[in-house]
Amino acid sequence: MDDSAPIPMVNVQIDGVWQQFPKGTRLIEACDQAGSYIPRYCYHKKLSAPGNCRMCLIEMGMPKRGPDHHPELGADGKPIINWMPRPQISCAQDVVEGMGVRTTTPLVEECRRGVMEFLLINHPLDCPICDQAGECSLQEFSVEYGNAESRFLENKVKKPKNVELGPRVTLDDERCILCSRCIRFCQEIAQDDVLGFIDRGSHTVLTAHPGKRLENNYSLNTVDICPVGALTSSDFRFKMRVWFLKETKSFCTNCATGCNTVIGSREEIIHRQTPRENDAVNSSWMCDYGRLKFDYIDSEKRLRQPRIFDGAKLLATDWKTALTHAAVQLKHFNGWEIAIIASGRMTNEELWLTSRLAHTLGAQLVDIVPRHGPGDDILLSEDRNPNTNGARLLGLTNDPGARLPEIAEGVRTGRIRALIALGEDPVNIGLTPEELSRLPAFILMDLLTKAATESATVLLPSSAFAEKRGSMINGKGRLQRLNRAVRAPGEARDDWEILRDLIQACSGQNSEMNSRAGEIHTIEDVFRQMSESVPELRGLSLSKIGDLGVAVLHLEKNPAPLTASARAQ
């Protein structure tokens, strides 16, 4: 089939209004697009549709046909609908030409109230202690379709509670409404068929297969798609009520995929990360590896004050003194004596200013530290740096890590006398703290206390990914935007501000580089300068990137959305 061929459109009547939808659109999605939201529990648009919760029942009809098998038309010229006598589920039905749908009739409303009463018969009254409270579909739909009183007089069925399905997921079987979303996710997306139902009737429970645990790298996605509080994150459990969380759109910086996320924070503390839908990047999912890697932001090892070495120890100082001290040290050396180790975790704006700093100092040895790990065929990339493509595009490196041995050898032999490390620990490229201590100038900009910290002559505390704004280019060449969720602790500053001020301190008062740095007052100014010089970014700005990003490097075709059908191909 030709992908460029237009998709045929079909006419569907929804609540008396005729609409057009692409052929193959799921009926429940068509109703959403028409403004008629249909409640659902088992249905998830990225998974197969089992049709087992029955909450999405609607009245449906097909065109009335005459003896010649052609649709009979009414006075308005539209097909006359022949309505079916019984309600139908909308989650497992695609739109068909001439189809009619009613979503709010008395019969439909009665069916939904019946489903809600059935689901609540054995459901525990856990809302005050349930992590799902505030984002629970059962709570939301019970307001509209539930009854104030229950006709159920028997004792509720007791089921297992606080069950560790795996290292990161805790199950409460009493809350489970048997929607099977988690089972289908494990089968169709994670390719780890570990969950299933056992027993029958009111005693049916969700459990892991004998000898298995829910411990794949995508296990926490089952918590995201659980419509009730049956599956909960062991890490987030009982930590915070969701209505207290401030939600910030961002993306994961733990590998080159750049899964879109929502950061949940309160009072400058991050409590969780959840995936945000973006079909061009991560569909609706993210891996556990990236999701849980944010604890270091609140670590006791965070650097909070700039410090300078006085010949005996590192002393706390103010920013102006620290940057002046760094500039004075760097001015003593020629460009061939200076090396810069940058990071593939830096934003484009920070990498751009790093290249400007290298130009100011005449530094010829510049590289980023590569990071690699095992990947998979779902989302996790082997490249653990989120912005390797940004470093390549901005000219810092063509082959990440290729010049690091030369830098390390230069430090050992004394040829390199000034080293600038930006977000990286030089110990990781084979240098020892003792070797770094012999450097006349070692400028270190970082988040945490590390092995090389005490060897620095100037220490500059910077910001984590959730504490700043900026952009990165993921492994598929998509430009994406970071947004600030929390503020940096103490006197730590945004990396781009530190680099801008360092460039100004190192430049001559009337130099062109100093003048260009002096024009930078916001991160938008950095992006503007960068876009004026880089053709791939021309015409863009941070606001134009949007929440879903923009493809700027066409390295290979973006992967298809990770749906059940895509995984099966």
Give pLDDT, residue 251: 97
Q: Is the pLDDT of residue 557 over 70?
A: no
Those residues whose C-beta lies under 8 Å from the C-beta of residue 16, and which sit 6 or more positions away, are none
> Do 292 and 322 fall within a single domain?
no
Domain for residue 552, yes or no?
no
Give pLDDT, residue 6: 83
> If you search the block for the tokens 């006709």, which residue do you land on?
151
Give pLDDT, residue 325: 96
The pLDDT-based confidence of 295 (bands split at 50, 70, 90) is very high
Q: Is the pLDDT of residue 42 over 70?
A: yes
> Do 283 and 383 fall within a single domain?
no
Domain for residue 482, yes or no?
no
Domain that holds residue 144: 129-298
The average pLDDT across 537-543 equals 95
d(CA 66, CA 71): 6
Mind listing the pLDDT tens digit for each residue in 363-403?
A: 989 999 999 999 999 999 999 999 999 999 999 999 999 99
> Do 184 and 167 fall within a single domain?
yes
Mind listing the pLDDT tens digit for each residue in 464-476?
A: 999 999 999 999 9
The pLDDT-based confidence of 567 (bands split at 50, 70, 90) is very low
What is the average pLDDT value for the chain, to the nearest integer?
92
> Do 397 and 506 fall within a single domain?
yes
Spatial CA neighbour of 419 closest among 330, 345, 347: 330
- Higher pLDDT residue, 357 or 73? 357
CATH at 385: 3.40.50.740
Query: Residue 338: what are its φ and ψ, rounded to 5°?
Result: -115, 135
d(CA 368, CA 392): 10
- Going across the sheet that includes 470-473, the strands are 470-473, 478-482, 550-551
Q: Is the pLDDT of residue 558 over 60?
A: no
Q: Is the pLDDT of residue 569 over 80?
A: no
Give pLDDT, residue 224: 97
The pLDDT-based confidence of 509 (bands split at 50, 70, 90) is low
Domain for residue 377, yes or no?
yes
> Do 166 and 260 fall within a single domain?
yes
Among 55, 86, 114, where does a domain finish? 114
Query: Residue 233: what are its φ and ψ, rounded to 5°?
Result: -75, 125
Give pLDDT, residue 561: 47
User: Which amino acid belongs to residue 103?
Assistant: T
pTM of the model: 0.92
Give pLDDT, residue 75: 72
Give pLDDT, residue 67: 78
Give pLDDT, residue 20: 94
Q: DSSP character for 421?
A: E
The pLDDT-based confidence of 3 (bands split at 50, 70, 90) is low
Q: Is the pLDDT of residue 79 over 60?
A: yes
